[in-house]
A = this chain, B = another copy of it.
């Protein structure tokens, strides 16, 4: 057993949900609404960023590949290496229009962010 093994290797889904997300410049983008988990592998493929809207209504959802999220203890939130412009053009949907996460949709997300899932 490596001595450096963290004693906090795991985190609760309930802890992740609601956590703030910042861009590289330190601006808050929004917060994590839910995690999308591959049923078979059990791997969290996307953390769905929620932001926009007004008084909590009509917010947009942006599925971000889990591997893009970097936890920042100082901010107590995730940092993603994206500009606001990159987020503006990113695949999104509204609360009432959740898409099927088909292989094609996954490909579109991965291609946009340049990240393999």
Q: Looking at A13, A66, A103, which has the most chain B CB atoms within 10 Å of its CB?
A: A13
Question: 1/0 contact trace for A38-51 toward B, CB 8 Å?
Answer: 11111111100000
Pair B102/A46 contact, Cβ less than 8 Å: no
- Stretch from A29-37, A52-60, A81-89 at the B interface: A29-37
Q: Within the assembled complex, what's the spacing in Å between the Cα atoms of A39 and B46? A: 13
Task: Tell me if A's interface is mostly helix, strand, loop or mixed.
Answer: mixed
Pair A100/B8 contact, Cβ less than 8 Å: yes
Question: 1/0 contact trace for A1-28 toward B, CB 8 Å?
Answer: 1000101111111101100000000000
Q: Of all chain B residues, which has the CB nearest A65?
A: B42
Question: Which residues of the partner chain B approach A44 to less than 8 Å between Cβ atoms?
Answer: 13, 37, 42-44
Interchain nearest-CB distance for A63 vs B (Å) = 9
How many residues of A are in contact with the other chain, CB < 8 A? 33
Interchain nearest-CB distance for A53 vs B (Å) = 18
> Which of B35, B42, B100 is A7 in contact with, Cβ under 8 Å?
B100
Pair B41/A43 contact, Cβ less than 8 Å: yes
Pair A43/B42 contact, Cβ less than 8 Å: yes
